[in-house]
Copies of this chain bind each other. A is one copy, B any other.
């Protein structure tokens, strides 16, 4: 029960609730776990549940009309997915793949909607989250539409910075292959552009996953 509780309390949209409301929601969840590499759902699946990551790491990706894959996001504990099939369409429009052994809590569409009617402030939290995600997604679209690869990489690196006062060393949250996919380019081009940025003295590749940003102002002007 303890770990089940943790599963809910770490989710931003629920963490303002009272203890007993939290318990009520917890009772409505079911748990399941997935081995590394397994698919949690696929495009078209009619699973109408919200999936909350309790442990592990999940890759969310889409496959375009012409068959090319793009990484949409990586889910870490506390993140959730499947909201489209809960609130909107009846089916998934992306793929979710466990990239490490993963544990998940699920709430069905029906139960979640009951809670939203009962505790309307949860909806406001979710609406806030959705509108921010929508905004992020549109910003991303605009970047794809207007910026070249090197600029998109620069912004991607800049946004990985946790605290600019603390450290300008960032850690890639996924493989470079996935970074390339996320940024709409190829591993070859990413590799080259990072080498270019390093040659210009704007970044320093310390290890394959750690990059120190040497000159953030110049980097963002690329």
Contact = CB atoms under 8 A, between A and B. Distances in A.
B87 A130 contact: yes
Q: Is the interface of A mostly helix, strand, loop or mixed?
A: helix
B140 A88 contact: no
B87 A146 contact: no
Interface in A115-144: 116-117, 120-121, 123-124, 126-135, 137-144
A102 interface: no
Contacts of A76: none
A131 to B, nearest CB: 4
A167 interface: no
B130 A127 contact: yes
Nearest to A93: B135
Contacts of A72: 138, 141-142
A205 B57 CA distance: 49
A84 B135 contact: yes
Nearest to A83: B131
Interface stretch (A4-12, A62-70, A207-215): A62-70
A84 B89 CA distance: 22
Interface of A: 62, 64-66, 68-70, 72, 83-84, 86-89, 93-94, 113, 116-117, 120-121, 123-124, 126-135, 137-147, 151, 155, 181-184, 220
